[in-house]
Amino acid sequence: MNNLLLVPVVAPFLIGTILILFKNHHRTQRVISAITAIIMLVFAFYITYEVYVNGIQTVELGTWVPPFGIVLVADLFAGLMVILSSIVGVVCLFFAFQTISPEREKFFFYPFYMYLLAGVHGAFLTGDLFNLFVFFEVMLIASYILIVHGGTKYQLRESFKYVVINVFASIFFIVGIAYIYGITGTLNMAQIAERVAELEQTGVLNAIAVLFLLVFGMKGALFPLYFWLPNSYFGPPSAIAALFGGLLTKVGIYAIIRTFTLIFVHDPGFTHNLILWLAAGTMFFGVLGAVAQFDFKRILSFHIISQVGYMALGLGLYSQLAIAGAIYYIAHHIIVKSALFLFCGATEKITGTTDLKKMSGLLKTYPVLGWLFLVTAISLAGIPPLSGFFSKFALILDGIDQGRYFIVFISLLVGILTLFSMMKIFIYVFWGEESLKGEQRNRPLMPLLMPILPLVALTVILGIGAEPIFSFSMEVAEQILEPSNYINAVLKE
Amino acid sequence: MELIMIFLIGIIFSVSTYLILTNSLLRVIFGIVMLSHGAHLLLLTLSGFNDGAPPLLGEEASVYMDPLPQALILTAIVISFGVTAFLLVLGYRTYRAHETDKMDQLRGNADE
């Protein structure tokens, strides 16, 4: 019993509701939401510390004993994800202060920002399949509103498709829950894991596993279900796109890793091989999309897809090293991708466009922005001293160990193509003849840069401090590869 | 009873698939609504229709109904109700902004 776990879920929800009362006072809203986000970050660190010292923490809502009541569970993986999402939550909030117009702020931007965080944290912490669905919905409904917020013609059109696709996936989530409830008679993930172990996973349980893979794959943008992502992330302002790019697909990936290391682990020859091939497709086709684009935001959106592939690759290889690599990769990706979207927002604020062909030579006027972007970009591509390298290195090492040479080849190829398209952005935006006019030269850069700096610092720290951080992700992987830890902690046997 | 329900759910799913694949915004929304009804019925059906007394403490009955699926469906219905309301508003705003409800005209690139 540890009531602290409720804070990351309940606090943003309550504060979000309070913020609705301050509809016309956007300064008050800013202050309250900033304080909440920072406090949540502190609590996220404290919860993970608690888990690290005392083992997996649970809280039973209403003191109903686990198989019957609702439980929130924090293991190291969930704690790490809550920390990462809180960091992105704080940073994107401060960037939103600089870039979101007051008209948008008045239309309940901050309340839904808080609801989104509540849903994301809830999805990470829940120990119950149906509550996973509910928190997914909380998160998605907030995201529907944030993605259409502002209501431009483009946003309305693409958001409609985004909403329909996600509602469709949610309905199939209910179908999956119906099947698994019909077969195991429970919804508590720990108890489902026990029952599936007794039933032996064949036939219909494999079908359910594929159904869940379909549902979470649609939310997490796995091949071939990623088609909705680039268009819908192009619409909203960069602060929101950074939040989405950092968090939303990772919730889908988190759900895949959680269910496929806890519940559907008894037939890895079928399920995990399938994930491996989907990962290869995701990486390859995602990066091909990125290479073909000439728009800052679209290139970044396609890169989300190709990098989700690396995380799925770690799960597909299904060994301690590979899963540790995937976890390291998730941490690296959330930080770097949010930073890149914020860079995109900063250049958009300066030049007024995200089209690569319409801007050039920003490096002369804004050198700091350019070089920091370069650091983040090569970190994404996986150049050694930065965080992208070590996570990919673990995955590739394990792939070679297991003799999966084709997949290793694809992931190396994708690394090169990633580097190519990041360099394309750098060359088009920052090199060449300066094209800035008039007041575009004198925009104050520091307010835009301040929120991005911590993220750039983090990616450097993750790279230079790879040794302790990698051993931490090995511990996380060890914990999630031993489902009995989780089951015993929840069911108290 | 289960067999009839399964056939009914099959029909609902196929009708909603047809509706989602049509060319009109409103029909897509109707399709989504139908599909969520089908999913809720499936949840109710798969948890079993065994006859029994209401699950009340203190009433001595030999067989009880399973109350959990009904609680789950209640939650799911509320969620799908909210999402449907949002979809209808979004569909209306899209229709007003683009002055068409044909899905094949709602495409193109960012620079209008």
Is residue A171 within 8 angstroms of chain B, CB to CB?
yes
Determine whether A1 is exposed, middle or buried from the number of CB atoms within 10 Å of its CB (0-12, 13-18, 19+): exposed
Nearest residue of chain B to residue A232 (CA atoms): B110
The CATH code of the domain that includes B94 is 1.10.287
> Which among A144, A156, A175 is the nearest to B86, CB-wise?
A144
Contact A181 B46 (CB under 8 A): yes
Interchain CB contact of A431 with B (< 8 Å) = no
The pair of three-digit structure tokens given for residue A39, joined into one six-digit string: 């406090």
Is the Cβ of A177 closer than 8 Å to some Cβ of chain B? yes
Residue B57 lies in a domain: no
**Chain A environment of B48 (Cβ under 8 Å):** 182
DSSP A108: T
pLDDT surpasses 90 at B58 = no
What pLDDT is stored for residue A333 in this prediction? 92
Residues of chain A contacting residue B80, judged by C-beta atoms under 8 Å apart: 167, 171
Scanning A203-232 for CB atoms below 8 A from B yields none
Supply φ then ψ for residue A71, to 5 degrees: -120, 145
Euclidean distance between CA atoms A242 and A346, whole angstroms:
12
Which is higher by pLDDT, A25 or A253? Answer: A253
- What does the alpha-carbon distance between residue B92 and residue B112 come to, in Å, rounded to a whole number? 20
pLDDT at A1: 63
Q: Does B82 touch chain A (CB under 8 A)?
A: yes
Interface of B with A in 32-51 (CB under 8 A): 32, 35-36, 39-40, 42-43, 45-48
State whether residue B79 sits within 8 Å of chain A by CB. Answer: yes
Query: A178, B91: Cβ pair inside 8 Å?
Result: no
Please calculate the CA angle A26-A30-A32 and round it to the nearest 5 degrees: 115
Alpha helices of A67-202 — where are they, by DSSP H?
76-99, 102-106, 109-125, 129-148, 153-184, 189-199
The complex's ipTM? Answer: 0.92
Work out the average pLDDT over A91-110.
86
Q: What was the pLDDT predicted at A222?
A: 87
Q: Confidence class of residue B112 from pLDDT cuts 50, 70 and 90?
A: very low
Q: Is A307 on the interface with B (CB under 8 A)?
A: no
CB contacts of A215 in chain B (<8 Å) are none
Burial of B20 from C-beta contacts in 10 A (0-12 / 13-18 / 19+): middle
Q: pLDDT band at A323, cuts 50/70/90?
A: very high
Q: Nearest-CA residue of chain B relative to A184?
A: B47
- For residue B111, pLDDT over 60 is answered with no
The residue-averaged pLDDT of A356-361 equals 82
Residue A348 has pLDDT above 90, yes or no: no
> Across the interface, which of B39, B72, B79 has its CB nearest the CB of A175?
B39
> Is A156 at the interface with chain B, CB within 8 A?
yes
Average pLDDT over residues A178-184: 90
In a domain, B99, yes or no: yes
Q: Exposed, middle or buried by CB within 10 Å (0-12, 13-18, 19+), for A137?
A: buried
pLDDT at A194 over 80: yes
CA nearest to A150 within chain B: B93
Counting one residue from A and one from B, how many pairs have CB atoms under 8 Å apart? Answer: 93
Residue of B47, B83, B87 to mutate, testing the A interface (most A Cβ within 10 Å of its Cβ): B83
Q: Please name the residue that has the structure tokens 């004993």.
A: A65
Contacts of A159 in chain B (CB under 8 A): 90
Structure tokens at B101: 């409800």
- What pLDDT, in 10s, does the model give residues B66-75? 888 888 899 9
Alpha-carbon gap, residue A171 to A177, rounded angstroms: 10
* DSSP 8-state symbol, A3: G
> DSSP characters for A56-88?
-EEEEGGG--TTTS-EEEE-HHHHHHHHHHHHH
The structural domain count of chain B equals: 1
CA dist A485 and A475 (Å) reads 13
Chain segment A14-58, per-residue pLDDT in tens: 999 999 998 888 888 899 999 999 999 999 999 999 999 988 888
Provide the domain limits for residue B79: 1-48+65-104
Q: How far is A178 from chain B (nearest CA, A)?
A: 4
Cis peptide before A483 (omega within 30 of 0): no
Nearest C-alpha of chain A: how many angstroms from B32?
Answer: 7
Query: Out of B69, B76, B97, whose CB is closest to A181?
Result: B69
Residue of A359, A371, A370 whose CA lies nearest to A437:
A359
CA distance B58 to chain A (A): 19
With CB atoms and an 8 Å threshold, state whether B90 touches A167: no
Q: Please, is A135 exposed, middle or buried when counting C-beta atoms within 10 Å of its C-beta (0-12, 13-18, 19+)? A: buried
Question: Do the beta carbons of residue A342 and residue A361 sit within 8 Å?
Answer: no
Q: Is the minimum CB–CB distance between A116 and chain B shorter than 8 Å?
A: no
Q: Give yes or no for residue A131 having a pLDDT over 70.
A: yes
Distance CA A87, CA A98 (A): 18
Please check the confidence at residue A272 and state whether its pLDDT lies above 70: yes
Residue contact A157–B107, C-beta within 8 A: yes
- The answer, yes or no, to whether residue B10 has pLDDT greater than 90, is yes
pTM: 0.93
Q: For residue A124, what pLDDT band results from cuts at 50, 70 and 90?
A: very high
- Contact between chains at B43 and A153 (C-beta distance less than 8 A): no
User: Minimal Cα–Cα distance from B4 to chain A, Å?
Assistant: 17
Q: How confident is the model at residue A70 (pLDDT cuts 50, 70, 90)?
A: confident
Structure confidence at residue A389 (pLDDT):
87
List CB contacts of A415: < 8 A, sequence separation 6 or more. Answer: A381, A382, A392
B109: in domain: no
Is there a contact between B42 and A174 if contact means CB atoms under 8 Å apart? yes
Flag whether residue A61 sits within 8 Å of chain B, measured between CB atoms. Answer: no
What pLDDT, on the 0 to 100 scale, is given for residue A142? Answer: 93
Could A171 and B35 be called an inter-chain contact, meaning their C-beta atoms sit closer than 8 Å? yes
A157–B94 CB contact, under 8 Å: yes
Q: Is residue B54 part of a domain?
A: no
Provide the percentage of residues in chain A whose pLDDT is more than 70.
100
Residue A492 clears pLDDT 80, i.e. is over it = no
Residue A433 falls in which region: left (phi positive, over 0), alpha (psi -120 to 50) or beta = beta
| Model pLDDT, residue A44 | 93
Span A124-142, average pLDDT: 92
Mean pLDDT throughout A326-333? Answer: 92
* Helices A238-262/A189-199 angle, 10° precision: 40
